Amino acid sequence: MELFDFFRWDIIWNYRELYLKGIWATIVLTLSGYLGGVFFGLFLGLGQVSKKKWIYWPCKIYVDVFRGTPMLVQLLLIHLAVIPTIFGQSMGWWVSGIVGLILNSAAYNAEIFRAGIQSIDKGQMEAARSLGLTHTQAMRKVILPQAFRRMIPPLGNEFIALLKDSSLVTVIAGAEILYVSKVVAGTYQRFWEPYLFAAFLYLVLTYLVTKLIAVVEKRVSIDYNPRKKKGRAET
Amino acid sequence: MIKVENLHKHFGKLEVLKGIDYEINEKEVVCVIGPSGSGKSTFLRCLNLLEEVTDGAIYIEGVKINDPKTNINDIRTEVGMVFQQFNLFPHMTVLDNIMMAPMQVRKLKKADAEKLALDLLDKVGLRAKADNFPQQLSGGQQQRVAIARALAMKPKIMLFDEPTSALDPEMVNEVLDVMKDLAKEGMTMVVVTHEMGFAREVGDRVLFMDGGYIVEEGHPDDVFGNPQNERTKAFLGKVLK
């Protein structure tokens, strides 16, 4: 085959160790960005449904700013301006990259949490409050468990989006998949092999994540089905 | 037991309650009737502050509930509420629906809460459904569970907001029967309803509301048998055949 003669596998093979490091970096960046983003996103989302103005507005502004500006710009600002100003020096691309991904993903996750909470019928909150539960208890026991089920598909989408957006960390010299490909491309002055391979790696990773999300969705939906409790005498 | 003084409620510019004065005694069953938009549901929802009161005062057992210093959660544990749309928690079994508030709020142990819940399910005739999820039950059954859930907090007052309006006709009676039993046991009840038969049979007093006012009130025999106000007459003329 002409195409495969043209395609030089040896380029990829020679750089296999660097690619492995790049894959590892992509996974670590994505996972830590996502987990941090979900954690802070939950609080931002709760803040956005708060009736207290001094909680609502800061959360709302945060989300609007981070969703309304490109992550590329955010990463450059954090890496080159914010962190050096606060710490007096760069903390390296790992720190800047993870911080950037967390801050950005938190804004998107906040919107998912907000929408999920607001999609629950307000009768649920009223029923819980009328039983004497506090707002916090009602959220924890009644609203959030229902909202989480609805949030799983969009939270999964956000995970995939972040996985792909982690490639932006390249601009601050973060040695993830795309960065490695750029190095390879620069060394050999060949572009098909490294970039096509990068695309292939992202495709495999997103495919795996999609499968993972499907499993989670299935497990959570079981809860709505009847189950018999054991250990209670039938009378 | 409940005392309402000059109660006003605005939704923005719309004034829904225009000065309600009323007193409800212990063990009384008061049925609130009236055309839709008359403010009767809003009035009921004010009694446990699901609606913020614009002006006036509501006292429950002498405590002003719309005082900022009053802990509304404490008041609500004494005032059960049943909704038109049941509002059962769909992610919990019937049993968990009933056990949740006693465990969270009253800090009951699980075993005690479970016993309480099963007793209440006996009372509403649904013990067999304890492990089902709400959406597997008929509307009438769901509403009976909702009543059991409210009773689990051992409230002194029960509020019913059109409890049978969302039900198929053949299921109305099973819910009304549970409510009749409650009335017989001496529960203080405020019931917003379109079931005139129930109001007449079970109500100690009937309250006719229209346009944000209490237009007429009295013993059901008087209000239904010999209405004084023109609007009461017109309304009853339409709903009673």
Per-residue pLDDT reduced to its tens digit, A120-150: 999 999 999 999 999 999 999 999 999 998 9
Q: Is the pLDDT of residue A232 over 90?
A: no
Q: Is the pLDDT of residue A230 over 50?
A: no
The chain B residue lying nearest A146, using CA atoms, is B91
First to last CA, chain B: 35
Q: Specify the length of chain B in residues.
A: 241
d(CA A116, CA A156): 14
Nearest CA to A49 out of A158, A170, A182, A138 is that of: A138
What is the rounded average pLDDT of the residues A109-119? Answer: 96
Does B89 lie at the interface with A, CB-CB under 8 angstroms? yes
d(CA A48, CA A109): 12
Cβ proximity of A180 and A168 under 8 Å = no
A30-84: pLDDT as tens digits:
999 999 999 999 999 999 999 999 999 999 999 999 999 999 999 999 999 999 9
Beta-carbon count within 10 A of A79 CB: 24
Record: contact A124-B74, CB cut-off 8 A: no
Coil, strand or helix: which one is A48? Answer: helix
Does B143 lie at the interface with A, CB-CB under 8 angstroms? no
d(CA A124, CA B146): 12
Specify the pTM. Answer: 0.84
Contacts of residue A120, Cβ cutoff 8 Å, sequence gap at least 6: A143, A146, A147
Phi-psi sector, A64: left (phi>0), alpha (psi -120 to 50), beta:
alpha
Which helix (H) or strand (E) element contains residue B16?
strand B14-24
Record: contact A130-B81, CB cut-off 8 A: yes
Does A226 lie at the interface with B, CB-CB under 8 angstroms? yes
Cβ proximity of B6 and B19 under 8 Å = yes
What pLDDT, on a 0 to 100 scale, did the predictor assign at position B144? 97
* b/e code A41-78 from CB counts within 10 Å (16+ = b): bbebbbbbbeeeeeeeeebbebbeebeeeebeebbbeb
What pLDDT, on a 0 to 100 scale, did the predictor assign at position A217? 85
What pLDDT, on a 0 to 100 scale, did the predictor assign at position A6? 76
Beta-carbon count within 10 A of A177 CB: 28
**Neighboring chain B residues of A131 at a CB cutoff of 8 Å:** 76-77, 80, 100-101, 105, 149-150, 153
What pLDDT, on a 0 to 100 scale, did the predictor assign at position B113? 96
Contacts of residue A128, Cβ cutoff 8 Å, sequence gap at least 6: A137, A138, A141, A142, A143, B89, B101
CA separation, residue A144 to residues A30, B10, B91, B103, B133 (Å): 25, 31, 11, 18, 18
What pLDDT, on a 0 to 100 scale, did the predictor assign at position A223? 55
What is the rounded average pLDDT of the residues A155-182? Answer: 96
Record: contact B132-A142, CB cut-off 8 A: no
The DSSP-derived string for B89-101 is -TTS-HHHHHHHH
Does A223 lie at the interface with B, CB-CB under 8 angstroms? yes
Cβ proximity of B175 and B95 under 8 Å = no
**Neighboring chain B residues of A234 at a CB cutoff of 8 Å:** none
pLDDT: is A5 or A116 the higher one?
A116
C-alpha B225: how far from chain center = 25
Does B54 lie at the interface with A, CB-CB under 8 angstroms? no
Beta-carbon count within 10 A of B68 CB: 6
Does A231 lie at the interface with B, CB-CB under 8 angstroms? no
Cβ proximity of A105 and A36 under 8 Å = yes
Record: contact A131-B105, CB cut-off 8 A: yes
Does A131 lie at the interface with B, CB-CB under 8 angstroms? yes
Q: Is the pLDDT of residue A227 over 70?
A: no
| Sign of the torsion angle spanned by Cα atoms B42, B44, B49, B53 | positive
Amino acid at A209: V
What pLDDT, on a 0 to 100 scale, did the predictor assign at position B59? 95
Contacts of residue A80, Cβ cutoff 8 Å, sequence gap at least 6: A90, A172
Beta-carbon count within 10 A of B217 CB: 16
Nearest CA to A44 out of A110, A103, A125, A98 is that of: A110
Strands B157-161 and B29-33: unpaired
d(CA B31, CA B176): 13
What is the rounded average pLDDT of the residues A158-168? Answer: 97
Q: What is the pLDDT along chain B (241 residues), one digit of tens a residue?
A: 899 999 999 999 999 999 999 999 999 999 999 998 899 999 999 999 999 999 999 999 999 999 999 999 999 999 999 999 999 999 999 999 999 999 999 999 999 999 999 999 999 999 999 999 999 999 999 999 999 999 999 999 999 999 999 999 999 999 999 999 999 999 999 999 999 999 999 999 999 999 999 999 999 999 999 999 999 999 999 888 6
**Neighboring chain A residues of B146 at a CB cutoff of 8 Å:** 127
Q: Is the pLDDT of residue A18 over 60?
A: yes
Amino acid at B211: G
d(CA B209, CA B40): 6
**Neighboring chain A residues of B74 at a CB cutoff of 8 Å:** 132
